[in-house]
Amino acid sequence: MSDETSILELEDVRYRWPGRTSFGLSVPAFGLKSGETVLLLGESGSGKSTLLSLICGTVTANSGRVAVSGTDIASLSAGQRDRFRAEQIGLIFQQFNLLPYASVLDNILLPLRFAPERRSRVNAPQDEAIQLCQDLGLPRDVINARAGTLSVGQQQRVAAARALIGQPPLIIADEPTSALDAATQTTFLELLFAQSQSHGTTLLMVSHDARLADQFDRVVQMSDIAKAERVTP
């Protein structure tokens, strides 16, 4: 890791989804330092998605503290959390969540529309998008192609470029390699690590695949940091 600055801090966090049959999660302590790459491993139902929702501020903890770049998520309104997420966190979703009929360029530039501070870090957004595509191994001529026409591997790299543009301090990747074969998976991770390192970005990747462990600075098991609880009345 590049230094000891905390990018993410969770302290005594508890959250329970509403409903008759509810799922709850408690996290006594978990954090990330600036520039480190962390693999978070957990089986289905272990609470990984709930943890990511808490970190991203799509839900707020019932108690405890979740802080990203020193800002307590609970201190922000819903609208402020949306803006803060766009500014501070680059997301790579399992299903990529690209706009299929929009161009690759428009997909990559999309976060900058909602994040003026992130936008201010990019002198020439279109040039930056093209450079990210090249760095991630995409041919230059795909920049104007519709995202829905690309292969799965290419769509994954577009999703990574979208997350990286504007240098957000935290990248969260949710099972981003699950649809790839081993060789493509390795290539993608090498490119993602190289980009994260060049920008000093912290990477948190969530997976159930322990075979990836050797490639990360640190490996964390969900069962070691969180307790999942289910209540059925």
Q: What percent of the chain has pLDDT over 70?
A: 96
The confidence score (pLDDT) of residue 1 equals 39
Q: Is the pLDDT of residue 117 over 60?
A: yes
Beta strands 63-68 and 170-174, pairing class: unpaired
The confidence score (pLDDT) of residue 21 equals 67
Q: Is the pLDDT of residue 3 over 70?
A: no
Q: What is the dihedral of CA 27, 206, 20, 57, to 10 degrees?
A: 70
Give CA 69 to chain center in angstroms: 14
Diameter of the chain by CA atoms? 57
Q: Write the pLDDT tens digit of every residue in 43-102.
A: 888 999 999 999 999 999 999 999 999 999 999 999 999 999 999 999 998 888 999 999
| Residue 163 structure tokens | 């997350």
Q: Write the pLDDT tens digit of every residue in 174-222.
A: 988 777 777 777 888 888 888 788 878 999 999 888 888 998 999 999 9
Q: Averaging pLDDT over each range in 103-117, 127-141, 197-211, which range is the top one?
A: 103-117
What's the pLDDT band for 232 if we cut at 50, 70, 90? low
The confidence score (pLDDT) of residue 4 equals 59
Q: Is the pLDDT of residue 2 over 60?
A: no
- Residue 182 CA to residue 38 CA, distance in Å, equals 20
Query: Can you give the pTM of this predicted structure?
Result: 0.89
- Residue 225 CA to residue 141 CA, distance in Å, equals 44
The confidence score (pLDDT) of residue 233 equals 59
The confidence score (pLDDT) of residue 178 equals 75
> Are residues 34 and 3 in contact, defined by beta-carbon separation less than 8 angstroms?
yes
Mean residue pLDDT of the chain comes to: 90
What fold does the segment set 6-231 form as a domain?
A: Rossmann fold (3.40.50)
Q: Is the pLDDT of residue 20 over 80?
A: no
Q: Give the N- to C-terminal CA distance of the chain in Å, as an integer.
A: 45
Delimit the domains of the chain by residue range. Answer: 6-231
Angle at the Cα of 7 from the Cα atoms of 87 and 80, rounded to 5 degrees = 35
Q: What is the mean pLDDT of residues 226-230?
A: 89
| Residue 217 structure tokens | 């600075």
Residues 6+ apart with CB under 8 A from 81: 57, 58, 60, 73
